[in-house]
Amino acid sequence: MKLEPIKIILQYYLFVLAKIALWRGKPLVIAVAGSTNKTFTKLAIEALLREHGQNTMSESYNTEIGLPLAILGLKSGYNSYKRWLGIMFQALIRAFSLKLPKIIVLEFGSNKSGDLNYLAKIAKPKVAVITAITQRYLEQFGGIDKAALEYATLVKNIPIDGLVILNEDIPEVKKLQLVSQAPVKFFMVSDQDISRQDNLWSVTNFITTDQGIKGQLDNGQTKKEFSLPYFGRHHAQAYVAAQIVLSYIKI
């Protein structure tokens, strides 16, 4: 028995059931995409939502089959036909019974051209966060410019009343503002203080201490000190992106 036809059937089956669950629950969907730092950014957004009393989802599956599983709150069956049979039955039940949170944060992964557009058709995100477009996985796309076109398809899917959040530090990501019909805000991390710019949220005076990282969150209007018990610039990027999401949701 060939695996590919079975995978196509499973993919379409989960696509339909995930759409039903989303149609029933009508959550606000936040998509986090990028060649790096997707998971940390997703977790930072979820943590901030929990701080403000919102339930969140836990799975970080981000493929054509994985994203519907994340929406339905199911684990992957991996290479076990027996597990997949049970998952398919659970998926059917959950599509018509699952109570989704009001806001869900989903990772969108892409290994080839068209992946992000397909995932956007499933989840219809209203907010998109693009963390990075780097040399990682470029062999699937044939170059960084073609990889940028893939992420542009996700940006184009965000409605005019939504929000696109882009990494100011990466030129290929910043250029995606040109294809957005939705408002755009940028985030960045700097070791120094920087001058105010419209639509830019930044972590300034970023430093690493023995306890983690710290700096100032600057949204162009106010500055506030923050510290996190983590290490690495990527955590600061995730933190500021999450703050922009929160400002849009206005919990």
CB-based contacts of 101, cutoff 8 Å, min separation 6 = 25, 27, 54, 55, 56, 57
Segment 121-150 shows an average pLDDT of: 85
Torsion angle (degrees, nearest 10) of CA 148, 104, 124, 40: 10
Interval 153-190: pLDDT, tens: 999 999 999 999 999 999 999 999 999 999 999 999 98
- Contact by Cβ (8 Å): 77, 69: no
The 8-class DSSP code of residue 177 comes to: G
Strands (E), the chain: 28-33, 103-108, 127-130, 163-167, 184-189, 200-209, 212-218, 223-228
Across 90-109, average pLDDT: 96
For the segment 122-150, the average pLDDT, to the nearest whole number, is 85
User: Does pLDDT of 142 surpass 80?
Assistant: no
The number of angstroms, rounded, from the C-alpha of 154 to the middle of its chain's C-alpha atoms is: 11
Instruction: Evaluate if residue 1 carries a pLDDT over 80.
Output: no
Domains of the chain: 27-57+102-249 (3.40.1190.10)
pLDDT given at position 7: 86
The percent of residues above 90 in pLDDT, for the chain, comes to 76
Give Cβ neighbours of residue 211 (< 8 Å, ≥ 6 apart).
227, 229
pLDDT of residue 181: 97
Convert 50-76 into a string of H (helix), E (strand) and C (coil).
HHCCCCCCCCCCCCCCHHHHHHHCCCC
